[in-house]
Structure 1
Amino acid sequence: MARRLTPSECAELLEDLEQLADAKQAPWLDRCNLFSEVLRTSYLYATDDEVQRFATLAARQLYVHQALGVPEQLARNLEYHRRKIHRALLTKTEYPHEQLRDAIEALQCWIEWHRNKAAQPIAAQPQVPDETDTSLQPLSVRMVVSDRHTVHDSKGEAIPTFSGVVEATSERITLHLHDRWRAMGNLIRSGTVLHIIAGRWSDTNTLHCGSQALLVLEPDLLLDVTTVAECFTGNFNSHLLALLRLFATETTKGASAVVGTVVNACFDELLSDPTVSIGAAIDRALRMRYLDVLAAINSQSLSISSLQSDIEPHIATIQSVLPHLDKGRLTTEPTFLAPHYGIQGRLDVLSETEGDWRSVVELKSGSAPPSNLLLAASSGKSFSIGMRPNHAMQIAGYNLLLDAAYPGRTGSSQILYSAAPDAPLRNAPNAHDLKADFLVMRNRIVAMYVALAQRLFGDLDHLLRLDTHTLPPFHQSAFAQWKSAMGSLTDQEALYIRALISFAFAEWIAQLVGNPWRLSGYATLWRLSIPEKTEQLLALTYLRYDPEGSDITRGYLAFTFSDQTPRTTPFRAGDIAVLYPHTALTSDGSIQGQVFKCSIRELGDVKVVVSLRNKLFDRTVFTDDQWWALDADILSTNIDTMVRACAEFTLLPQQRRQLLLGLVPPRTEPRSVQRPARLTDAQFAVYSAAIGARDYFLLEGPPGTGKTSTMLRALVEHLLTDERETLLCAALTNRAVDEICSALKHLAGDGLLLRMGSIESTEHPALAFAGAARTRPFDELQQLVERARIIVATVPYLNANPSVFTLKRFTTAIIDEAAQLVEPQVVGIVSRVERFIMIGDAHQLPAVVQQSERSMRVSHPLLDAIELRRLDTSLFERLLRIAQRNGWHHAWGRLTEQARMHHIVAQFPGTRFYGREFGTLHAWQRNDPALLPYEQLPSFLRHRLVFVDTSPELHQGYNVGEARLVAACTTALATVLDPLPSNTLGIIAPFRKQIRTIIEQLPEALRAQVTVDTVERFQGSQRDHIIISCAINQPSDLRLIESIIELDGRPVDRKLNVALTRARHQVIVVGCRRILEHNTIFAELIAHIERTGIVLSASEALEMLGNCSV
């Protein structure tokens, strides 16, 4: 529910406004940015206990005004200033001082209203007069709903009616739903965003959505076209099938599914090279799907020879059809995003010719229906389609994608049934009724997902009540098994599963629309303009295609930076991205043409190289006479795998479920093991306990304690001495998996170790199974898998490729970085192994989660009993809490000796976050003097702990004075440390804008030698000297740099812990003391530095730096 602001929140925001009002000489842009931030923060505070998600600030604002009964005039004034100042910032049009003064007064009045509900609103702001000519009203409108009421037509039938505002203008409008759209009325609530296309205006403020219109619920929530289409079966068309697909689907592909994927790959091969032989095409296709093929062979459902004979008739049909396809520029698997319709999709083939002619061909390898099959639309109209209903509706979704991408597009849409040699190619109608029915289904699925995210499980209960025989035959067996398993769960298990399901869908929404406290989310791709993305450092923009540096035949495209390209980016090599020309983004939020899914192959200072996912594309698109941009992509499969993991948990034996919940203690079998020479006494004690675990062991390793390089290596070496053991080693990131490979590479001889995943994503290509799969015969690949006793992979790869568990039966899984994995990410993996050892540190950074704080909190006695109070808690942390609470000392161990930090650097994080001082493993950590041995440095820079007090500025997300000071300290240190190895100096800043500002202040020669990045990017690494730039200018910004959780009875700031423990010899903290001390932990840190190091002002530090000879 929305709530009134607390007195402390009001005081904090009024302090920010006072700073804004006093800064009359500051640039208007800075003042407007701060106004927008304070306004936004006030509404975030008002909804921080609300589980409903809001796509935009306008939706959140309208909901709060409605829920709290804000006086109408005050509400209108606030909406007016939000819209006007946003427009000024967007267009970089100077905002007059007088109008900004009025805006500040309105915001002050809003905050005072929370303190005293009787406070009087200020005078109304001038509004733009209403347009009286209905012919000038827009053809499409994004509307934010405020409330619902019902009117009746001439027949006395109820017409769902909604009041709200036009999102872009805040103009009040009323919407009436007619015909097929009436049923959508029950899905809409206050704060919902609707997109109405081709509605009818009866007057300037009344819009009707009837049979010729289209309605899209929450258009920024993009659903895959196939997700919607698979809900149409003909006999049972229901949005519940989208949920069923997640819960009751076989995790490994059967023979027919493997044949289908290989046939599709062959189709791509034949299109890209029509001269290729059938044998070569099949071989290439098999190698593209090598994991599924090997899993099917291993399960004895097919052989290579039978697979080839099954595929050959499909290839013959495809070859007979190729001459009859539309000729033109061909693209395989082109991707389209259509936020106008709330969908996205990847076509099989797009053919383009001159003009607007664009044709779609979708390949289906299953059996073909009768060529005269009819499909009835909800309007009563029937279409002779000769294709299955789900295929026809898939084409309807693709037609919507192309309508959005190419307005005025013409062309055919066809299904190619490769199993039907007589009539394989069938045309699908491009009919409005089918598109409308498609969007009705899409809206129902979105409403269901939103409800699940808000912990409303009516649709799940409805699904569980279905009779198995009402479902399509291919779903019945898996559904019956899952339904029976759900029915056998205890109340506690059922509540646990529902909590994780809610978390997964809430995360899906947050990944698309972003976290309300920071500018993020996939929707920024189309919601923000190129200048906004450039300013906010959310994308690589103003790129030029470089044909000379590209290998276009392999899909490797190079782009050079321009002067306008931001040098601080959200990317690193290996990240997935979306590539598109600047001209693709339109002012109405649509995306013209296709976008190109890719991964970052190389990222340098002046260029970026990407690898396109689809290798057959229209090469004429890539020219060097237009600007290109790269935005971050998301993996929607992560959400699917999290939900499927919940289903897999339900299918486990009850004893295993109880074990994973923490209701029964894990078994142990103490063993007498020989001590590895490199382990200390303390390490050996933890090692021995882990070896003796029969179910699981939790190894907690604070920073620098050798979790991977020492402990994981020793555990693997011992386990391999037992011939019955087959090990799975996993971690969240490719970098962490490569560290595992580095620790174990001495075991790679005789094929004991295989690295799963793309060969391009690893620093150990010789270990990559994908490399062998390119050329080795399949019988040899089978032998490689059988011989391997250690499989190493990322957790996302394992979740996306469950075939791995068909290929190998694992006795023990060792999961590194376990505290960075939310429970649904890992529960499916540990469910498939006999024993698991998790290695991590709950005191360091948690999993990266996008959703709001409120949606992660849960409270129920049954969940309290298993230590589940936050849904972003890792399984590692939850089981660790249970083990510590219950005294299961055999189930966990903590390393207490670190080999990284000088004891002065380690003292505060050790005592404050872990409750004890760390032991040290090297003499220098204890014996080196308190002052650094560089007499040329200013005296304050010789201290191992330094805090420099700076002044706040009006900027959002950066502080120029701080950046200059950081650069000056870095330059002084670099001078005395010359030559400067790349791992010597590191600068941690919380915001990309501050990173950019610091880099701009650094001398050119140091920019390549000094790492400047966020704390998230520093986890897992270390430097001799660390400088932390806090860049906090207002108290309300503090929550953006915190990650506070209670562990061992004490609050722990996980971000601060990681930042401080990256340093070996010295930590320098730079920030505004007055603001930072609002945070108790920062106040304690500053007091500790004052006792054991030095605290000084920025002016003192700059004076000493200026007087220094270095």
Structure 2
Amino acid sequence: MGEYNRQGPNRVDKVRVLRVCLEAIFLKICIDESRSFGNLFAQMCFVSDKYNVPERVKDEAHSFRKLANKVAHRSNFISEKEFVGVIQALSWTVRYFSSVPIPDELRIIYANYPKLTLIQEPQELRETEVFDRAVVVDIFYYEDSNKYVITCESENELGRYKINLRDQTYKNGKNSWSGQQFSEVGKILWKYATIHVFNISKDNTREREFHAYYQSLLVVEPDFLVDATFLARSFFERKTEQGKVAFSNPLTAYLDRLNGVKPNHYLFTGALANEFLDEHLIQEHLEFVPTFKNAVRSQVWNAINVGEAGLRKIRDELRERHIPNLMDCRPELLTGNAIIEPAFFSALYGLQGRLDVMVTFENDPLRKEIYELKSGRPPEQANEVKAEHEMQVIAYNMLLKSAYGNSRKGASAILYSKAKHTPLRNVDHNFRIEQDLMMARNKLVAMLYQIAGRKFQAYKDVQAGKFGPTLSYDYCLKNFRAFKDNYNNASPTERAYFNEFTAFIIRELQTGKVGDTNPREGNNRGFAGLWHYSEFEKRSRFDILTDLTFRKQKTDSSEFEFTIKKEQFSNFRDGDIALIYPYDSNGLKPLNYQILKCSVLEITPTKLVIRLRNKQINQDLFKDHTGWVLEHDFLDKSYYSMLQSMNVFLQSSKEKKDLILGLKTPEFEDRLESLDAGIMVDSPSRSQGLAIQRAFAAKDFFLIQGPPGTGKTSRVLTYILLHLYRHTTETIVILAFTNKAVEKILQHLDEFNQKQGPGQQVDYLHLASALKDSPKSLTVLARKGNFRTVQKKLFSTRVFIGTVAAFQSHQNLIPTRLQLDTLIIDEASQLIEPQVAGIIPRFQRFVMIGDHNQLPAITTQREAKCKIEVNHLQKIGLTDLSVSFFERLWKQAINKAQKGGTDAEKWAKSTLVLEEHFRMHKEIADLVNPYYDNRLKLGNEKRQTAKLTHETNASNPLVNLLANNRVIFLESPKGEGKSHAKEAGRVKKLLEAIQEMEGKKFDPTHSVGVITPWRAQINRISKEIGNDRQKRRVTLDTVERFQGSERGIIIISLATSEPVFLSILGSLMENEFKIEVDRKLNVSISRAEEQLIILGEPDVLMRSPHYARVIKAIMDNGKFCDLEETEHLFDDAEELEEDSIF
């Protein structure tokens, strides 16, 4: 009740808090359900049906939800009677599901309202309902009339009603367009799906029934935004007696994603044509040769794949065919203000997209013109466009209609830059085509949701040769046949592995897009929170920056600086991808504007610098509005990369698939008799040396577990690389999960190179993203050299370093003639199987370094959805899809070694634990050593057993405490929720004491770090620190941001006041020693080198066996300060008010 009482007398704020309670109830009920829920309403409908909730209880709860939504988005007022009705509705809900009687202090609140209700009578149905958002609660099929009748529960005020879905026909009896075959929607719908319905007609013969008719439109799961380009790929043309007819097949688009984009002449020509279009719009007089060279340099990987002869051919084609058309069309595109690649999102139609060019007009604000560039061969007829291109532009039209309303006007055209005649071709727009597009979208979404729900009919259809409508494009048939052959040839285990992980990936995509319920974030709305969350909710989640005023444009035309006018805390970091859009005087309206995609280059309490994804023509772009808003972006790319990875697995040889599944016994050879002392700055420890030798000897794979501070990156990884580089001719690729880890690897390698003479250095390339100007990236090198020099550099380089995501984005770009031998992956225990299953087959062998006792792989779906009951997969140790590949293979190897047999020794040899640690003082290490079966040993005994040498200060008891104790627990008074004011103030005072104690040696970036599990507590502490520049440089973050780093002193502010938070405070797993590990606690403690300070409420924390063990150890061997002693130390004792419920 702490958060509730903190809202004071404000009823609106209290209702917002109680809405969170309602969400928590249904989250708890659904926690073990395997189905997805995109929103609270769908969840409540499901629960009401499953648990036979009485109508009155159900309706009051729904009415409370509607009232809370109105408060969140449209109203700042709630009457006393409505507020009391909320208390009653919530009380009844809790009583029904818990069977706990309603306490008298709650019952008395609404006792004076004997007929109290929040329920309102459903609205009178109109002849035509223009729009409603609803959840499907029942579906019935009438075979004799081939129609579906769906029962819908309105999310608004329409209540419950039915819709008849039957195919529309013409007067001659023939079926109408595909978008009006409404029985198809009934076929693909499922219970508790969310739908948008437009223009349904009332049935005057039946009560509360509608019909879908020729003006109707239905959108399935509209919060799941489908990219216009992806959707368009499902369309193709087929020749019929009536001429060319457009058809759609969702499998064509899906298989396109599975295959990924392979570099070729045509795609590269298109990419360069787009570059030329952008530059032509920015500057009138464009020199061809330098522009072409710059464009090629920016896409150097594509250029190398095409080759020098191919580049010359593309150059000539651009100069002769494309550029003249672009120049001819330039005046028309500049009749108004041209905006390059504006993004739009439609929550009405479930679409998203980035237009090539949109032209706006100051004197006619409703006029918005669309131009989409296509560089391939156009249809022969001057007025024709390809079906795929037409549907892409239709999707863009719907995006603009969604943003600007039906009154938007202006042309929509495709610019065929290769056309001999009429390069600009208008796309006609009518409602019938929109229906066709939405039907295709609904089928695509339904197919993805079916796969996510482990229904693999789409795969079975391809397996059986059921490709859908006859395809006229050879590449489509080629994709279908290739997938059919690979899927049919796969063993049952391989097929199950592919099925389960593609389903898992799409569920991750679902959660990222529309959200789901999970214990850590409650009802998380995913990217759909952009339009569903109110400004209040976004601020409480720290996901937004408002009150941004444009200050200036940087030298680079794509970089802009803003002033942050008022103090606010957010979770934005340098390098984050983001969206920026105008602030509306009526509140946040992100979907009513063009949205610009950007990256955060720099952020301080008062300044924000962003880089737009594209250069812009209009330099006054940000002067048109007085205020701007920054929110987080969401990209599909990484999910589709994982799907592609699974397809690579399916295509791989049996030997590679057996290696990934753990079915192939690892082989070793004696290739390194002794270590090369000449390339090692420090002598390795015993286990480090053994790891280097075994990694060198492994023919298939080798796994290294590196507990905290064991030198797995600084020594082991670096020395493995150096030995391979000096003693073999292999090509080596080093990957890590995070950019931070990659930067550390590069730092160690650069430090080694600086100490080497000419010809002794390790030459490497950095697989960096386009946003990183890495001096060792091929893109940066291309700016300085010519094509032949860069090509030679690529094929002569033997070491490539980058993140796993960067390699996946480069995977199709790395020329096949570049042989890749050894793969080394750092932070491997943070990578799920689909992130590596498509990478491993490209290499002869792999070495993985990780620690499954530390932070796990990041997944967003609930635990219940990750469990596997497929016998084939359980046999290979795969029982949980969220477990990292490293952990599964590690446990598999340990089990096979322990079982004995002829191959037991080889399996035993394939894993090794680094036992000597060099970071933590012994008193700190003793707190985490039990997680490693007490096998960790001191690597530098002199430093790790030394006594503290800080000077005491008689006038400052805090300094004295710190000067005399390495491990300290400070008891906190009872707090509220996930934010603890006392702890925040004490953290500030601790930082001041540390600064005083260390004096000139104090370095805010290394001396101390502050870890806290909750964003709300980060905000509290940040506010306490204020604008103190030194303390602002101290890293203050969740434990996830600290993985892979260390500080001299670590302060942990737990701010955990309720036992219910303990389940989400930790991250539990059982390791191979049958020891349960709290991975978050392990990482938090092990970041400290010299000193550890924990603030928390022991009465709550000791209900966790992990925190109980740590606290008892501190009581016995460290310094435990009880509440009275802690208040004396900080001089902050006060009388605490008793909680009030009302």
TM > 0.5: yes
Change (3 A) 1:932 1:125: farther
Question: 1:1066–1:791: structure 2 CA closer, same or farther, 3 Å change rule?
Answer: same
Change (3 A) 1:574 1:53: same
Name 1:608's counterpart in structure 2. Answer: 608
Q: 1:472 to 1:293 in 2, by over 3 A?
A: same
Q: Where does residue 989 of structure 1 map in the other structure?
A: 1012
Q: Work out the percentage of aligned pairs sharing the same amino acid.
A: 27
Assess if the C-alpha contact under 8 Å between 1:231 and 1:239 holds in 2: yes
Q: Structure 1 residues 530 and 1100, CA, compared in 2 at 3 Å: closer, same or farther?
A: same
Distance 1:132 1:1031 in 2: 46
Letter of the 1:778 partner, please give it.
F
Q: Could you tell me how far 1:1084 is from its partner in structure 2?
A: 2.1
Q: Is the 8 A contact 2:344 2:354 kept in 1?
A: yes
Q: Is the 8 A contact 1:529 1:585 kept in 2?
A: no
Distance 1:196-1:894 versus aligned 2 partners, 3 A rule:
same
Deviation at 1:515, TM superposition (A): 4.4
Measure how far apart 1:465 and its partner are.
Answer: 2.5
CA distance in 2, matches of 1:63, 1:170: 19
Deviation at 1:710, TM superposition (A): 0.9
CA gap 1:537/1:739 in 2 versus in 1, 3 angstroms: same
CA contact (8 A) 2:769 2:806 kept: no
The match for 2:863 among 853, 860, 865 is 853
Distance 1:760 1:56 in 2: 35
Partner deviation per Cα, 1:894-922 (whole Å, 9 max, x = no partner): 111111111111112111x2111521222
SS at match of 2:968: strand
Shift of 1:700: 1.2
CA contact under 8 A between 1:952 and 1:1032: conserved in structure 2? no
> Does the 8 A contact of 1:199 with 1:210 survive in 2?
yes
- TM-score, length-scaled by structure 2: 0.88
Residues 74-83 or 161-170, more deviating: 161-170
1:143 is matched with 134
1:944 aligns with 2:942: no
- Whether 1:307 aligns to 2:314 is yes
C-alpha offsets along residues 194-253 of structure 1, whole Å, 9 cap, x if unaligned? Answer: 11234445689655443213221111111110111111112352111122212345x531
In the aligned structure 1, how far is the partner of 2:868 from the partner of 2:769? 38
Measured against aligned partners, the alpha-carbon deviations of 1:547-572 in whole angstroms (never above 9, x if no partner) come to: 2xx22752101111111x523x2221
> Where do 1:105-184 residues align within 5 Å?
105-116=88-99, 125-127=116-118, 129-130=120-121, 139-149=130-140, 157=145, 159-168=147-156, 171-178=159-166, 179=168, 180=180, 181-184=182-185
8 Å CA contact 1:414, 1:426 repeated in 2: yes
SS in structure 2 at match of 1:189: coil
In the TM superposition, residue 133 of structure 1 has moved relative to its aligned partner by 6.0
- Contact preservation (8 Å) 2:1101, 2:1107: yes
Match of 1:379 in 2: none
**Counterpart amino acid of residue 233 in structure 2:** E
Matched, 1:927 2:930: no
Q: Which residue is equivalent to 1:233?
A: 236
Q: Distance in 1 between matches of 2:11 and 2:1119?
A: 38
Alignment partner of 1:849: what SS?
coil
Kindly indicate whether residue 399 of structure 2 is the aligned counterpart of residue 394 of structure 1. no
After TM superposition, the structure 1 = structure 2 runs for residues 83-122 of structure 1, keeping only pairs within 5 Å, are: 83-88=66-71, 93=76, 103-116=86-99
Aligned residue in 2 for 1:636: 636
- Aligned residue type for 1:305: R
2:732 to 727, 735, 756: 727
Partner of 1:828, secondary structure, is: coil
Which AA in structure 1 matches 2:477? Q
C-alpha displacement at 1:97, in angstroms?
7.0
Q: Give the C-alpha shift of residue 171 in structure 1.
A: 3.7
Q: CA deviation at 1:320?
A: 3.1
Alignment of 1:274-353 (within 5 A): 274-297=284-307, 302-312=309-319, 313-325=321-333, 327-353=335-361
CA 1:471–1:862: 2 relative to 1, 3 Å: farther
Q: Distance in 2 between matches of 1:87 and 1:782?
A: 60
Aligned-pair CA distance for 1:718: 0.5
Deviation at 1:481, TM superposition (A): 2.7
8 Å contact kept, 1:577–1:599: yes
> Which residues in structure 2 correspond to 1:578-657 (within 5 Å)?
578-583=579-584, 591-623=591-623, 626-657=626-657
2-structure distance, mates of 1:326, 1:34? 51
Distance, in Å, in 1 between the alignment partners of 2:200 and 2:551 is 45
1:110 Cα deviation from its structure 2 partner = 3.0
With over 3 angstroms needed to count, the CA separation of the structure-2 counterparts of 1:84 and 1:317, relative to structure 1, is closer
> In structure 1, what is the equivalent of residue 1100 of structure 2?
1075
1:801 aligns with 2:810: yes
The residue that corresponds to 2:177 in the other structure is: none
2:936 aligns with 918
Report the counterpart of residue 462 of structure 1 in structure 2: 461
* Inter-CA distance 831–536: structure 2 relative to 1 (3 Å threshold): same
Structure 2 residue 801 is matched with structure 1 residue 792? yes
Which residue in 1 is equivalent to 2:486? 485
Q: Map 1:685-724; keep pairs closer than 5 Å.
A: 685-724=690-729
Q: CA deviation at 1:757?
A: 1.9
Secondary structure of 2:395 counterpart: helix
Single out whichever of 447-456 and 479-488 deviates more from structure 2: 479-488
Alpha-carbon separation, structure 1, partners of 2:618 and 2:586: 19
CA distance in 2, matches of 1:1024, 1:832: 41
2:1117 maps to 1:1092: yes
Q: Which residue does the alignment assign to 2:262?
A: 252
Question: Which segments of 5 or more consecutive residues in structure 2 lack a partner in the other structure?
Answer: 169-179, 239-246, 898-906, 1134-1142
> Matches of 1:190 and 1:248 in 2, distance apart?
32
Alignment-mate amino acid for residue 896 of structure 1: E
Point out the more displaced range, 722-731 or 312-321.
Answer: 312-321
- The one-letter code matched in structure 2 to 1:310 is E
Distance 2:1129 2:27 in 1: 43
Q: Residue 964 of structure 1 aligns with which residue?
A: 985
More off after superposition, 195-204 vs 740-749 = 195-204
2: CA distance, partners of 1:870 / 1:585: 46
CA contact (8 A) 1:734 1:761 kept: no
* Separation of aligned partners in 2, 1:585 and 1:1045: 48
Paired amino acid for 2:605: D
Q: C-alpha distance in 2, partners of 1:445/1:527?
A: 23
Q: 2:548 is matched with which residue: 543, 546, 566?
A: 543
Counterpart of 2:30 in structure 1 is 47
CA–CA distance in structure 1, aligned partners of residues 471 and 216 of structure 2: 32
TM-score normalised according to structure 1 size? 0.90
Query: Which one is further off, 52-61 or 467-476?
Result: 467-476
Equivalence for 1:738: 743
Question: Displacement, 1:686?
Answer: 1.5
- Render the CA deviation track for 1:111-155: whole Å, top value 9, x for unaligned: 443355999999875246447665699733221222234689xxx
1:447 equivalent in structure 2 = 446
SS in 2 for 1:52: coil
SS in 2 for 1:522: helix
Change (3 A) 1:1107 1:260: closer
Contact 2:59 2:119 in 1 (8 A): no
AA partner of residue 534 (structure 1): R
Equivalence for 1:211: 214
Task: Give the equivalent residue in structure 2 for 1:73.
Answer: 56
3-state SS of paired residue (2:1099): helix
Is 1:761 matched with 2:734? no
Q: Would you say the 8 A contact 2:91–2:102 is kept in 1? A: no
- The equivalent of 1:13 in structure 2 is none
> Which has the higher mean CA deviation after the structures are superposed, 22-31 or 278-287?
22-31
What SS does structure 1 have at the residue aligned with 2:610? strand
Which residue number in structure 2 is paired with residue 497 of structure 1?
498
Q: CA RMSD, aligned part only?
A: 3.0
What does residue 428 of structure 1 align with? 427
With 83-92 and 671-680 compared, the bigger mean Cα shift is at 83-92
Matched residues in 1 for 2:202 and 2:475: separation?
A: 46
Change (3 A) 1:1060 1:417: same
1:571 and 2:556 are equivalent in the alignment: no
Match for residue 175 of structure 2? Answer: none
In 1, Cα distance between the equivalents of 2:728 and 2:286?
A: 46
